[in-house]
Amino acid sequence: MTATDPSLTALADSWCALSLLHGRIEAHIERALQSGHGVSVREFSLLDVLSRQHDGEGGHLQMKQVADAVVLSQSATTRLVTRLEERGLLSRYLCPTDRRGIYTDVTPVGRDLLGAARPTNNAALREALDQAAADPRLAPLVTAVEEIRRPAAV
């Protein structure tokens, strides 16, 4: 195999297309969330992930799990949590069974913001996918994304 091997070139081109699709979607959603709600894509994602926690077994996420879910490092996630806590959107508290553990919850103000921002996020995602579907390089990826979200046929 050489650097100009057609299979490697095709693979690199596919990876570039995937990166381009992600970048376009994220930028489109970022603009919509910032202008409509004063929240970034990362902030929205963090609020969304934390809003799905529950009181049952395994219902609260550790910071590493949160970081993995929002695709950030643990330190970047901690900084983001701190910023949202300072804005009154999140609160932290000690784990009742392990005082070394710290949990993070979305405050009522954060839930209100998330509820208001969710339709904006969803509409911007749909718009970005529709725009990308018009690009022949990205159309197959849009189709793949749309297929992933469909329930499996039984």
Going from the N-terminus, what domains does the chain have, and what CATH number goes with each?
15-142 (1.10.10.10)
Please report how many Cα atoms fall inside a 13 Å half-sphere around the Cα of residue 35, on the Cβ side.
8
**At residue 1, does pLDDT exceed 60?**
no
- Specify the amino acid at residue 103: Y
76 vs 63, residue with greater confidence: 76
Distance of CA 115 to the CA centre of its chain: 15
Rounded Cα gap, residues 32 and 35, in angstroms? 5
Which residue matches tokens 């970048």? 23
Quick one: pLDDT band at residue 44, thresholds 50, 70, 90? very high
Q: Distance (Å, rounded) from C-alpha 42 to C-alpha 91?
A: 17
